[in-house]
Structure 1
Amino acid sequence: MNKMAPSTPARLSAYTDAVFAVIITIMALELRPPTSPTWAGLLGLWPTVVSYVVSYAFVAIIWMNHHYLMTFITTPSLRLIWLNFGHLFCVSFLPFATAWLAQTELAQVPVVFYAVLFVVTDGMYNLFEAEILKHSTAFSRSEYLSARRRSIFAFALFAAAAGLALIDNWLGFGFICLALALHLRPDATPFRRRSRGKDSPS
């Protein structure tokens, strides 16, 4: 008997992992060695290094949060799948934005574009996270609200970074880094699920 296999978190995660791997590969391929065999030539690549490190950290943070979120679902809904595709669509612009940032030495317009890309990407992540958490039984109401407040605060910092970049590119870029730091610890982790399992009556 042939039946169509249901969509699973593993399939969604595998596809997402593949996209992230391609994005990192494209960014790495944009790295070029200096034409001068001197330390000065190497130091002249600082815009490339800075933009690559921040973008790499962004991808790592996105992947980590996505990894933990996927532990809270059993069968992805159609809405969740499309939200994931929307999120990946935004992330796919990261190599372009990173290269532009490096080539222009973090000039104002590229930094504004970079910050806006982070705003849109984080906005899609917030929708993706909210869709998962509101259907999960692994959180209490207070834990759900705490995770959402943290995500929304980080989103607000990205939005502030975009606004500040219009005034000062370095200040805007600094706020981008600050917002990334808030996501170093995932907004939602599976620890609550394990603790509930231990405390539940047999």
Structure 2
Amino acid sequence: MSESETKSGTSPVSGIGRMTGFSDGVFAIVITLLVIELRVPEHRPGELLSALLEQASVYLAFLLSFGYVGVIWLNHHSVLRLIRATTIGLNWINLWLLLGIVIIPFPTMVLADAFAHAGTDGDRRVAVLLYALAAASMSAPWLAFFGYLRRHPSLLAEGVDEDYVSAQRIRPVVGMALYLITGALGWFVSPVLGLLGIGVMIIFHSLTSGGLRFGRWRRRRPA
């Protein structure tokens, strides 16, 4: 599809190659930033093992966020399979989504620092709440993405039914609500419980990364 091709009453449309390439590059950079924070701890001779164990929270935060970024990438890949073209509006929504991705290393390090031996219970509550809020905010651009596709069905790939796309809007709504509940649990009840809730949410998004399927994709109804 050429860059100059337009649809009546819509923005100019183009292929999704540039969106895919740019997005994958951002995901790769974020994953790299997470790894950079893994450093050899300072230690005296003979105390390497204890120094490594003291950084257990850093390793846990890394694995948590690596899994989270990986799951988001899987979800993003699945969404791009639904479309055959993009527009300026959809590109802006995609940039909004990527903004949430590049922020992840910050709450990750806050979480790791708070759960270190020097962290207090109050610090851990704040860290879990911050991470949960960052994750909840990630649901908003997904909701906008599916809403945009619902309003512009001409962008959908062949064989993707509009009702299927509409059904996917349930996932970001559920995700936003559950992440907020998780943050509340971490703040008011227990930061460890909140951390476990975040892990459960990542598993939920991984299991539904291919979308909510009510049967197989259906061909569009005949006009």
Structure 1: gaps of 5 or more residues: none
What residue number does 1:122 align with?
A: 139
Whether contact under 8 Å (1:158, 1:176) holds in the other structure is: yes
| 1:161 and 2:182 matched | yes
Return the match for 1:111 from 128, 132, 139: 128
1:16 shift after superposition: 0.5
What residue number does 1:16 align with?
A: 23
Whether contact under 8 Å (1:155, 1:179) holds in the other structure is: no
What residue number does 1:34 align with?
A: 41
1:189 shift after superposition: 8.1
| 1:43 and 2:53 matched | yes
What TM-score do you get using the length of structure 2 for normalisation? 0.76
Worse-superposed segment, 166-175 or 17-26: 166-175
1:124 shift after superposition: 1.8
Worse-superposed segment, 180-189 or 113-122: 180-189
| 1:73 and 2:90 matched | no
Sort the Cα spacing of 1:25 and 1:123 in 2 relative to 1 into closer, same or farther, 3 A.
same
Task: Tell me the distance in 1 between the aligned counterparts of 2:147 and 2:67.
Answer: 23
Return the match for 1:96 from 87, 106, 110: 106
What residue number does 1:147 align with?
A: 168
Larger radius of gyration: 2
- Amino acid corresponding to residue 108 of structure 1 in structure 2: R
Structure 2: gaps of 5 or more residues: 6-12, 117-123
- Amino acid corresponding to residue 178 of structure 2 in structure 1: L
1:161-180 correspondence to structure 2 within 5 Å: 161-167=182-188, 168-180=190-202
Sort the Cα spacing of 1:59 and 1:133 in 2 relative to 1 into closer, same or farther, 3 A.
farther
Report the count of equivalent residues. Answer: 194
Whether contact under 8 Å (1:72, 1:132) holds in the other structure is: no
1:145 shift after superposition: 5.1
| 1:52 and 2:74 matched | no
Whether contact under 8 Å (1:68, 1:189) holds in the other structure is: no
- Amino acid corresponding to residue 131 of structure 1 in structure 2: Y
Task: Tell me the distance in 2 between the aligned counterparts of 1:139 and 1:174.
Answer: 36
1:175 shift after superposition: 1.4
Identity of aligned residues (%): 24
1:126 shift after superposition: 2.5
What residue number does 1:188 align with?
A: 211
1:67 shift after superposition: 0.5
1:130 shift after superposition: 3.5
Sort the Cα spacing of 1:24 and 1:156 in 2 relative to 1 into closer, same or farther, 3 A.
same
1:118 shift after superposition: 0.3
Task: Tell me the distance in 1 between the aligned counterparts of 2:78 and 2:24.
Answer: 13
